[in-house]
Amino acid sequence: MDFAAARFADSLGAAGRRRTTVSADGSVTSYRLLDGSGDGVPGVYLDRYGPAAVLNVHEDARLSQSWVTGAARLTLEQLGLEAVYVKAFVRDRSRLGGREPEELRAADPRAGRAQPESLVVREYGSRFEVRLYDGLSTGLFLDHREHRRALARRGLPRVLNLFAYTCAFAVPLAAAGARVTNVDVSARYLEWGKRNLALNGLEPAAARFFRMDAFAYLAYAERHPGERFDLVILDPPTFAVGDRRRGVKPWKALADYPALVQAALRVLAPGGSVFAASNTRELAAAGVLARLVTEALGYAPAWQTLPPWPADVSESGRVAAVLFVP
């Protein structure tokens, strides 16, 4: 074992010992095993999904393919997993010209044996469908695990989940009795969200699904007094391409987030709250998202306490989240 491999093995072992509380009782089967520089391996993020794992390697880490393959094999052996898939992240995806590396959709992993097209993982009382070779994402963002549980515990009856993706926020909220309205431009991801609710034995009436641009839906809801919510969830991507044919404008978090906050307030019920999150690098720096919200409102809102980031998310500054009552 060379020096680099030994260092990776040591980091993986130490990270595992720090995460014993996350998976000790089996209620969480999907969590982060390595969190970049927070675990001594900058640019490398390792996420577990039940029997398999995904090794996310960022371009900035400048690691050779032989190193990545070695890390995948070490992970497989050290943790007793069935498979380790690799996802390579480039800083500027526009350089790919809309094409993804073939490995992102290959059933055969970098190490181990091929996994089913979809797996089911547990997160406290919720079950989620994940897909480990379906592009860059797996269908579940692990950073918000504690936020999903905390928001569900608030017992709010009417929730708007914008940029819903696979509706992970909706599952525990609907299970807690909320009627969740999920909005996303992708029919495919909304169908995935419906499967997530069905996996948890939730009735179709527990949620609504709108295939719409977030701003278009907010404009629609503003015109209809019945579309008011006790909680609005904002967790948009950093960038999103538009669709001129469907009237969907391109999205850029840095430029468009203030308008999103302002529009969300117009569909908020009296006393309602807004959960705002971002993985945009500039907004994830300490205090930046809160300042953006304050500037968008023109005054400081009543900030509410969120739970700490999960124990397995050790690196700060990549994701930000705030909860407030305007």
| 162-201 pLDDT per residue, tens | 999 999 999 999 999 999 999 999 999 999 999 999 999 9
* In a shared domain, residues 288 and 234: yes
pLDDT tens by residue, 256-310: 999 999 999 999 999 999 999 998 888 988 899 999 999 999 999 999 999 988 8
* In a shared domain, residues 102 and 198: no
- Evaluate whether residue 126 is within a structural domain: no
* In a shared domain, residues 151 and 27: no
- Evaluate whether residue 147 is within a structural domain: yes
* In a shared domain, residues 310 and 179: yes
DSSP 128: E
* In a shared domain, residues 308 and 181: yes
Count how many domains the chain has. 2
* In a shared domain, residues 314 and 193: yes
Place of tokens 């690799």: 86
Looking at residue 242, its pLDDT comes to 62
In the predicted structure, residue 1 carries a pLDDT above the cut 70: no
- Evaluate whether residue 159 is within a structural domain: yes
pLDDT tens by residue, 102-161: 999 999 999 999 999 999 999 999 999 999 999 999 999 999 999 999 999 999 999 999
Looking at residue 254, its pLDDT comes to 84
Place of tokens 């739970």: 307
Print the domain residue range for 54. Answer: 3-121
Beta strands in 185-287 (DSSP E): 207-211, 229-234, 239-240, 251-252, 268-278
Looking at residue 7, its pLDDT comes to 84
- Evaluate whether residue 131 is within a structural domain: no
Structure-derived torsion over alpha carbons of residues 77, 79, 82, 83, reported in degrees to the nearest 10: -80
* In a shared domain, residues 230 and 102: no
pLDDT band (50, 70, 90) for residue 235: very high
DSSP 101: -
Which of 92, 121, 150 corresponds to the end of one domain? 121
pLDDT tens by residue, 58-88: 998 889 999 999 999 999 999 999 999 999 9
207: left (phi over 0), alpha (psi -120 to 50) or beta: beta
Looking at residue 285, its pLDDT comes to 86
Angle formed by the axes of helices 3-18 and 65-79, to 10°? 40
Q: Residues 84-101, buried b or exposed e (16+ Cβ, 10 A)? A: bbbbbeeeeeeeeeeeee
- Evaluate whether residue 130 is within a structural domain: no
In the predicted structure, residue 98 carries a pLDDT above the cut 80: no
CB 197 within 8 A of CB 128: no
